Amino acid sequence: MKFRDDQLPIMQYKGGTMAVSAVPGAGKTFITAQLVCKIIEEKLNKPGKVLVVTYMNSAVNNFKNRISHMLEERGIDSNSDYEVMTIHGLAMKVLQERPDAAGLDENFKVIDDLQKIFYLDNAVKIWRKLGGEKIYRSLLSEYGTKKYDEKSERWWKDFLQISDVLISELKLNGITPEKVEENRELLGNNSIIYILNYIYFRYEKMLNLNGYVDYNDILVLAYKALISDEDLRKKFQQKYSFVFEDECQDSNLVQCDILSIISERVGADNKKRECNLVRVGDLNQSIMGSFTSSNPIYFKQFLREADKNYVMNRAGRSTRNIMNLANSLVEYTVKNHPEKRCREALRYQKIHPIEDVEDLKNPEVDEYGIYAYSMSSWEDVKKRTIEVVKSFKSKHSDMTLAILIPFNSHVKEIAEELRKNKIECDELSSTSSERLKIINILGKILGFLGEPDSPVKFRDLMYEIIEGDNEKKNVIINNITSFKIEDIIKESVFKTTSVCKLEEIDKNIFEDFICKLRMVKDILANLNMPLQELILYIGYELKLNNEDKAILQYVASYVRHKNAENNSMTLDEISQELLDVRSSAFTHICNVIYDIRGYEPVPEKVTVTTYHKSKGLEWDCVFLLYLNNYIYPYSIKGKFRSEHYYFKDEFKNPTAIGKAEVQKLLQNDVCYNPIIKAREEVICEKIRLLYVAITRAKKYLILMAHYDENKKDCPSKYFEIIKKFICENKQSS
């Protein structure tokens, strides 16, 4: 195996701490897997194992497959010499080994995301009844007070998300509800953390009563167990002789501490020796801070302190023109960004082409390959996108193509436009049609079961579950459902001449109608089942894949929890919740389950996804839409989505204020102005997000921005800078 010049020093690693910073497309997964195999081949790990910790479940499977295949190629049967898992999987192993060391019962359970949302929502509702509603109103601005409707759940969903983020922040920093109460005077009367403390207390109480811990607890308790129990600590240190961490720019403090402890080498004299710890990542791809407690400062610190520090700066993914554009964004940010504190958003490391490996080179195209369009409206963007996609696919049918958009709602919108134009696509978002298909089917089945004499609900259900061409399907279903529902269920209508002739339109659709009708009849015959059992029975009848089975089990679990709270759900109520695409509980669960499977782009389908979900993927051609000021702010004086317009100025970013208060409780220095600091962090993360998006493209890149009079929005300053760069370089190429 021949390695590039920037990979060779990494492959010489034998032990100690090593930091590897890898530019997009440098092959960090490849080199990490190769180094793991080399350690195993040379038996450097003996008598222990090599541990690889990565961020996503899908990445776990990718690493396992790569390492296994590489070992097989070398004729080595050593699958027992390594383990690959997420940080939560590792923490669970620690707790299962000695739950008592963390103060847990051996039968402890981990609460899933759906149950967590249910418990948190329940805690918020109790708080509202006990005076929280009045406190909430006191946070509202004059405008917010006029617009507020206590029956509307829109603002309360925001509040639930704020609560979730800040409770996670408290937990990961070891701050209990009791500690918050003890420091009431330090926090002050208008403290966001103190306002949320009752919700935190109720949530913790519900977890304890039911024997649950959440994902944050797992990390914190695993760390405490390793610190407090010497035998447990030694066991894991001896079990894993080398520790690798992938995507370490997305680590939080507790994760870093756990891996540092496990990687320590302890001698016979009980004195600490060197750590065999390798961390691989890219500071310029740190884009998860808005959603998690991750922070790139921990990788920055490791880069300064590691025994060895290498940069993989050669990448073969993109054309030189695309790499030059990404490099220009880095250079502009570091040297010229008007917000001085945002000049550190990107690390000054440039992507270089591959030059030193035979048979490997960067892709090339006959044209410049990068285009930027400024459109007059969002409607024009959609129209232009469809035109360019059609043109591109007609010329390059063998190439993969992706459209990246900021919001899940726009993913669905663009996907619908593509389908209207007979262009096949995959939606990668928490509200994509594929991921929510089983949720929609179940919602429509339960809706019909709640009102079995409704022709509208029956028609909607059959349209959802029958396969085939939409137009032909519509004709057949509309004709059959013009009869009485009871006659259709009895199948007597299929003896009529008019219905029999429908078989001539499409025999497969007609036969599928009869097949699915009999399935619905079987389900109707079991209406006396408890609702959660009925949901599982419906899954059995539908003959689902593993992902969809898991989703139905979550829905059944959700219903069981609702019923346990003496809040029995009717068929119609659960149907409405399932069919509400804004329901964060069900969309989040679908997202988690489908992400485990991973995704591989294919030329036959256009990928439509958000900027965040594109990370880790690559396509021949990438469209970047909505490059506007509102999404990519340039100045701290701009508008920020993280700020809630309906709160008073001093509360408009409660998450930022709450995080600053957590630091106050930890007796750390509180930043100059939490809201301004949060704006700077948003600007920094958005710059990195744009960098990640640009580097997804291999051969072609199309960027679009537009004007929006309603939102008083216009193309981002970054778009204008990129457009200028494209014009200058296109002329010289």
Identify residue 317 by its one-letter amino acid code.
Answer: R
Strand ranges (E), 554-693: 606-610, 619-624
DSSP 8-state class, residue 289:
T
* Closest CA relative to residue 404, chosen from 613, 686, 595, 641: 613
Kindly tell me the sign of the dihedral angle through the C-alpha atoms of 68, 74, 76, 80: negative
For residue 556, say whether it is annotated as part of any ligand binding site: no
Q: 49-54 and 308-312 as β-strands: parallel, antiparallel, unpaired? A: unpaired
Q: Residues 598, 58: contact at Cβ < 8 Å?
A: yes
* Closest CA relative to residue 733, chosen from 438, 325, 260: 325
HSE of 181, CA atoms in CB hemisphere, 13 A = 8
For residue 27, say whether it is annotated as part of any ligand binding site: yes
Element spanning 642, H or E: none
Q: 264-266 and 272-275 as β-strands: parallel, antiparallel, unpaired? A: antiparallel
d(CA 501, CA 496) in angstroms, rounded, equals: 9
Q: Residues 401, 619: contact at Cβ < 8 Å?
A: yes
Q: Quote the Cα angle for 285-290-293, to 5°.
A: 90
| SS3 of residue 246 by DSSP | coil
For residue 372, say whether it is annotated as part of any ligand binding site: no
Q: Quote the Cα angle for 153-158-163, to 5°.
A: 115
Strand ranges (E), 259-298: 264-266, 272-275, 277-281
For residue 607, say whether it is annotated as part of any ligand binding site: no
* Closest CA relative to residue 437, chosen from 602, 600, 559, 587: 587
| SS3 of residue 315 by DSSP | coil
DSSP 8-state class, residue 240:
E
Contacts of 131 (CB under 8 A, 6+ apart): none
d(CA 339, CA 333) in angstroms, rounded, equals: 9
Q: 47: cis peptide before it, omega within 30°? A: yes
Place of tokens 């607890």: 217
- Sheet containing 49-54: order of strands: 82-86, 49-54, 240-245, 277-281, 17-22, 308-312
* Closest CA relative to residue 227, chosen from 103, 108, 106, 111: 103
| HEC readout, 414-455 | HHHHHHHCCCCEEEECCCCHHHHHHHHHHHHHHHHHHCCCCH
Q: Residues 633, 679: contact at Cβ < 8 Å?
A: yes
The residues pairing with 697 across neighbouring beta strands, listed in sequence order, are 619
DSSP 8-state class, residue 708:
B
For residue 493, say whether it is annotated as part of any ligand binding site: no
For residue 145, say whether it is annotated as part of any ligand binding site: no
Q: How far is CA 556 from CA 45, 425, 568, in A?
A: 45, 30, 13
d(CA 247, CA 245) in angstroms, rounded, equals: 7
| SS3 of residue 643 by DSSP | coil
For residue 25, say whether it is annotated as part of any ligand binding site: yes
For residue 26, say whether it is annotated as part of any ligand binding site: yes
| HEC readout, 126-164 | HHHHHHHHHHHHHHECHHHHHHCCCCCCHHHHHHHHHHH
Burial class (CB in 10 A: 0-12, 13-18, 19+), 264: middle
d(CA 562, CA 699) in angstroms, rounded, equals: 51
The encoded tokens of residue 699 equal 């051969």
d(CA 301, CA 256) in angstroms, rounded, equals: 11
The encoded tokens of residue 162 equal 């704020």
Contacts of 397 (CB under 8 A, 6+ apart): 603
Which residues make up each annotated binding site for ATP? 22-29
Annotated binding site: 22-29
